[in-house]
Amino acid sequence: MKGLFITFEGTEGCGKSTQVAILAERIRAQGRVVRALREPGGTPIGEEIRHTLKHSKDNAEMTPEAELLLMNASRAQLVREVIRPALAAGEVVVCDRFYDSTTAYQGYGRQMDLGTVQRIIEVAVAGTRPDLTLLLRVSPEVSWERLRARQAAMPVVRDRFEEADRGFFDRVARGYEAIAVAEPGRVKVVDGARPVDAVAAEIWSIVQPLLEDQR
């Protein structure tokens, strides 16, 4: 059976992690082997890079260029160590973020040259692309409110990205909209501001036909 590669994208607080877990369990209930992953991370090397990027007390002076390269170093390892072997074995790979996050966060958010960003991404993925990307859309206002609520609930867990200003997150949101417009066949936009069950139901209505086509 052919593997299937599904990615989740969206701004902070859009509910990706919750929906990744729900979808992975629902696919497993159909008898498929599912590999649930996250970026950055997903391998021992990637998790070390994740800590450096997000949580280290020594990362405050990280430049956008270093951020871009570290993100894609983690991604290159994940693609070769986990994603490609899983897809070759016929598994369903569900990943919390992939290269669209780099376009949105480092390209649009950090305002890096998009051509440079795309060239670095291509080195990392070397043609490995999602079959489906689910973009959970929430308004910048909802994203900002959820982000602040999460920070208040977990004040001891520092995340360097969450320390960015409102303008950064507005640019990220615009980046995701541009991606959705450019690739409507791959990127399906889902309203993430609704209750969790409603979002999960719409996601399943998109994913289920893909699984049935593989039978």
> Can you spell out the DSSP letters for 126-176?
TT---SEEEEEE--HHHHHHHHHHHHHH-TTS--GGGGS-HHHHHHHHHHH
Contacts of 90 (CB under 8 A, 6+ apart): 1, 2, 3, 33
Fold observed for domain 4-213: Rossmann fold (3.40.50)
Best-predicted range by mean pLDDT among 90-104, 133-147, 149-163?
A: 90-104
pLDDT at 173 over 70: yes
C-beta neighbour count of 51 within 10 angstroms: 13
Q: In the prediction, which pLDDT does 141 show?
A: 80
Peptide bond into 130 cis (omega under 30): no
Sort residue 8 into left (φ over 0), alpha (ψ -120 to 50) or beta: beta
Separation of CA 213 from chain center: 25
Domain ranges within the chain, ordered by starting residue? 4-213
C-beta neighbour count of 16 within 10 angstroms: 23
Cβ pair 122, 99 in contact under 8 A: no
The band of 155, judged by pLDDT with boundaries at 50, 70 and 90, is: low
pLDDT at 154 over 70: no
**Per residue in 31-83, pLDDT tens?**
999 999 999 999 999 999 999 999 999 999 999 999 999 999 999 999 999 99
Q: In the prediction, which pLDDT does 27 show?
A: 98
